[in-house]
Amino acid sequence: MQRQSSKVMSAGRTVNMLVYRLREYSALLKCGGFFGLGVLLWKLGLSCPLVTATVAVIYLLTGGWRFAWVAANTLRRDVRAFSILIRIKLGVHSHVRNNMSTAKLFRKTVRKFPQKNCFMSDEKCMTFQEVEERSNAIANYFHDAGYSKGDTIAVFMENSPEFVCLWLGLSKVGMTAALINFNLRGPSLSHCINISEAKSVVFGGELSMAIKEVLPSLSNNPQLYCSSSPPTTDINCLMLDVLLEKSPTFPPPSIQTNFKDKLFFVFTSGTTGMPKAAVITHTRLFYMTSGVKYMFSITDRDTIYNTLPLYHANGGAIGVGLALIWGSTVVLRRKFSASRFWDDCIRYKCTVAQYIGEICRYLLVQPYKASDTQHTVKLMFGNGLRPQIWEEFQQRFGVKQIGEFYGATEGNCNILNSENKVGAVGFASRLVPALYPITLIRVDRDTGEPIRDRYGVCIKAQPGEPGELVGKIIRGDPMREFDGYICKKATDKKIARDVFTKGDHAFLTGDILVMDDFGFMYFRDRTGDTYRWRGENVSTSEIESVIQSIVKLQDAVVYGVDVPGIEGRAGMAAIVDTNDNIDLHELNSAFQRSLPGYARPVFLRFLPAVDTTGTFKLKKTELREEAFNPNVVKDKLFWLNSKSGQYEFITPAVYSDICQGRVRL
């Protein structure tokens, strides 16, 4: 009896799978049906042109006009994109087969342009040959000092050519650099060093106090090296610059490499409460930079202005990779300056510049001056440019092309907008989506969980419908694999099963996008416990834990809220306070000690209780919608006044000033 029941269940599953497959390939079956109709009409004696015309008319009248309309508007775009995709795939597979590495590719670039400037900055300019020799000296030193392939070295420095030389040199002897955000302090900083299992830390002298403060909490007792400038405090460390003076600059001992090996770690905020170490492989660096190069037509004749932090993938992988692999010259700045941006572009004769959305807004609010249009920048590429200021930005500064792109640092869902389509972060083909398997899936608005059909497969979002961007994971395909994080648990959380078909796996970006009829995608929101502010991903659970450790309360909810005219979402904390006993000054001081500036809540809300789900997860949807509007919220609201540096009460007048941009956050 049990065997018979098992057979019935198995048959049922088979039928369900067949139905699902028929539904999935309905478009192909429809085309086949029209082909069969054409054959029938031909057999009945109709001429070939008449058969073709008849079938075409029937196809268009039964809904095919929409496919034809999409094809007419996207065919050229898609053909170009797929030809570039094939070119990159062939390059990746060739480099994997030949055991290439970033260092080997850079060596080819050095042979082509030995005396050409690789990096330029206010502090120094370095030719490709000089970068090669400096990175060789670094590789030889750490190899001779007893470090070996697979060891991790943490790099905690501000932007400089030396920063790149460090991770490039380490990679030459098979070591992995952990690129740490130089804004981090306290527990977040020690967490990054510890989770990477770094055997040594190379830090800039200006950051020595931050390192000294976390020394007692470093679990691996790493060797400390100070670089670029003397330490600003008394700390037991080796002076790397002095040691490198004695290190040979010839190529280091040959280390067996694989193009899929780890190159460096980039730390990105997630839902675990602390930064996660995302793995960047040689393969990932190659195809990220290649995609930008080919899609935006960047050549070795271009000079790229890069003011973005080098510990991020945008500036530190894509921007730098265009120099190392493809021979472009990159101008680096220690920190972004809105007032000097265009003057620098003129000074260095830049033809390309990188941005994040906030940079574009900062430039727009600068006073008008002649250098606004005297530069030679033809292309700016990056992510986060608000659609509301897109055209205004291009018109004011005379930038012909905006190259907006989207890509999770660790994911496989990279898309680009090479068509200058206002507001779009990229596109996916509506004609042949299987060639680049990414899609938008429906998710529950409150829980963020994927919504599935009766067969257990995720439901794709239709054009105009918000959905989470996901990318199919294909084992063995370097461009479709998900390299994940150091922490396996964190990696597993970003993988979903049964997304495109039963039994498959896909990477979950955690971002909500909307697609139009032509496949252009527009960023809408973030799911999970992160938001983006001042160009940084902020972990809400990390801030919640800081607040709870300070005020000893049961519940504290952190979320991002929209502020009119400002990129990203400003941090807001809703804190349970039933007895009015929270000291705002003490809370503010604790934030300053424990959190980088971009992670400190801009708004505070004190309320008697917060709602939870059935699994005791804190509900944030309603709080996020109410935001900091005192006309809607009856609880006490405060904002962080950037002038006084203190939290102050939000009145309707203050709220109006914030929304109208009359006060600066």
3-state SS record for 353-397: EEEEHHHHHHHHCCCCCHHHCCCCCCEEEEECCCHHHHHHHHHHH
Residue-wise pLDDT tens digits, 531-565: 878 877 787 777 877 787 777 655 788 888 989 88
| Within-domain flag for 522 | no
| Within-domain flag for 380 | no
Determine the angle formed by the axes of helices 102-112 and 282-295, rounding to 10 degrees: 50
Residue-wise pLDDT tens digits, 596-630: 888 899 999 998 877 754 434 556 778 888 889 99
DSSP helix/strand/coil, 400:
coil
Any idea what DSSP says for residue 207?
G
Q: How far apart are CA 598 and CA 586, in angstroms?
A: 19
Q: How far apart are CA 195 and CA 411, in angstroms?
A: 20
The total number of structural domains in the chain stands at 1
Q: State mean pLDDT over 428-438.
A: 90
Helix (H) or strand (E) holding 556: strand 556-561
Assign residue 97 a region (left: φ > 0; alpha: ψ between -120 and 50; beta: otherwise): alpha
Determine the angle formed by the axes of helices 387-397 and 357-364, rounding to 10 degrees: 50
Contact 46, 40 (CB under 8 A): no
The whole-number pLDDT of residue 426 equals: 95
Most confidently modeled of 275-279, 328-332, 365-369? 328-332
| Within-domain flag for 510 | no
Q: State mean pLDDT over 223-232.
A: 92
Contact 543, 595 (CB under 8 A): yes
| Within-domain flag for 465 | no
| Within-domain flag for 552 | yes
Q: State mean pLDDT over 370-374.
A: 93
Q: Give the residue numbers spanning the domain of 601.
A: 530-659
Task: Inform me whether the pLDDT recorded for 634 exceeds 70.
Answer: yes
Any idea what DSSP says for residue 209?
H
- pLDDT above 90: percentage of residues in the chain: 57
Determine the angle formed by the axes of helices 2-24 and 26-43, rounding to 10 degrees: 70
Assign residue 562 a region (left: φ > 0; alpha: ψ between -120 and 50; beta: otherwise): beta
| Within-domain flag for 654 | yes
Domain CATH number, residue 613: 3.30.300.30
- pLDDT band at residue 434 using 50, 70 and 90 as cut-offs: confident
DSSP helix/strand/coil, 227:
strand
Residue-wise pLDDT tens digits, 32-91: 454 454 554 444 555 556 545 655 565 555 566 677 788 889 999 999 999 999 999 999
| Within-domain flag for 582 | yes
Residue-wise pLDDT tens digits, 143-199: 999 999 999 999 999 999 999 999 999 999 999 999 999 988 888 899 999 999 999
Q: How far apart are CA 461 and CA 499, in angstroms?
A: 12
Contact 425, 304 (CB under 8 A): no
Cβ atoms < 10 Å from Cβ of 555? 16
